[in-house]
Structure 1
Amino acid sequence: MKKIVVICCLGLILFSCKTKKTAVTKRPTRTTQPTTERQTNRTTPATTPKVYASKTEEYIDLYKEVAQQEMQLYGIPASITLAQGILESASGYGRLSVEANNHFGIKCHEWTGARIYHDDDELQECFRKYKDAKYSFRDHSLFLKERKRYAGLFDLKKEDYKGWAKGLRAAGYATDRKYPDKLISLIERYQLHEFDKKVLGKNYTLYEPASYKETYTVTKGDTLYSISRKYNLSVAELQKLNGLNGTNLSIGQVLIVKP
Structure 2
Amino acid sequence: MARLSRLNRSIAGRVAVVTGAASGMGRATAWLLADEGAKVAALDVNSDGASETVGAITEVGGTATAVVCDMADHLAIEQAVARVRAELGPVDILINNAGVAAGAPVDAAGYEDVWAAVLEVNLAAQMRLVRACLDDLKRNGDGRIVNVASTEGIMATSHNSPYTVSKHGVVGLTRALAVELGQYGVTANAVCPGPIRTAMTGDIPEEAKEKYARRRVPARRYGDPEEVAQITLSLVLPAASFINGAVVLVDGGLHAKSN
What's the TM-score, normalizing by structure 1? 0.24
Higher strand proportion? 2
What's the TM-score, normalizing by structure 2? 0.24
Q: Which has the larger radius of gyration?
A: 1
Which has the higher relative contact order, 1 or 2, with Cα contacts under 8 A spaced 6 or more apart?
2
